[in-house]
Structure 1
Amino acid sequence: MRAVDFAPLLRSSIGFENLNRLVDFATRGDSDAYPPYNIEKLGDGAYRISMAVAGFSRSELDITVQENVLIVVGRAGDGAENGGREYLHRGIAKRAFERRFQLADTIKVTAAGYENGLLNIDLVREVPEHKKPRRIAIDGELAAEVALTTDERDAA
């Protein structure tokens, strides 16, 4: 019997566990590991994506959100910016990339920052009031309990 590892499917999805959409997204062929990134959970409903984009300037990076997909694009500048440098070894990759992250309906991008070669994108889960869990009274028991505590408070 073979075990199935779903970890690669969960890496680029934030805020939902809908397996059908994850499998569909994973089968699109997004297997390139450049640039490396982390997804952190900062608190209750707060997330951060940190991407290592060393060598890119702010003007070479573009972040868009379209139909619950966060798209980060890096455009590598032309060779003219090398200033006549000759590399014996070039280990710092600076190539064009496009990274996509599938977002849940309740996840909103709140901010983005670039510092020390890391692109940080802050996300927050905003659940609308009509989707939040609420308690439903069974045969009016909850209403009777509230009335009882209100009468006791008035008597005191």
Structure 2
Amino acid sequence: VVRRPPEIPLPAALPATRLVLALDNVADPGNLGTLWRLADWYGLPGLVLSENCADPFNPKAVAASMGAFGRVPVWPGRDLGAWLASLAPEVGVYGADLEGDNVHKLHLQPAGVLVMGSESHGLSPEVGAQLTRRLHIPHGPGGRAESLNVAVSAAILLDNFFRNS
């Protein structure tokens, strides 16, 4: 039996200096836990969850986090569109988009907010409107898959943020 950690206030200035992962309506607890584990792997200061995300303390999410639930703060139940709109204008807000810039050709710094959308619908319009840069993960030569899992996409994008740091 584990006790939920106390909620830590979401520091307003945090995204200006570090990269934060935000999840917009990620419904599958296994995906949420895997994304939490990625946040732990890359040393992110926390995970911001929209109001309609899976419960981060669902047993499947906790198991998939592989211990990250005890190391990486989570801020659930946020109005992501409003929170992103409240950030300073110089804070980069990034999201995956099929029409975005090829992430492999960019030199990204690990600061700002990386937003990952729901498994079936992507980013909500309110959150998508706050993006300052849209990122695209290109297919490999001959690649035919229609899409990638949200956690796989996040891993590729996070690796590109930290590749040059």
Question: Is the TM-score greater than 0.5?
Answer: no
Structure richer in helix, relative to its length: 2
Q: More strand per residue: 1 or 2? A: 1
Greater length-normalized contact order (CA 8 Å, ≥ 6 residues apart) = 2
TM-score by length of 2: 0.30
Say which one has the larger Rg: 1
Query: TM-score, length-normalised on structure 1?
Result: 0.32
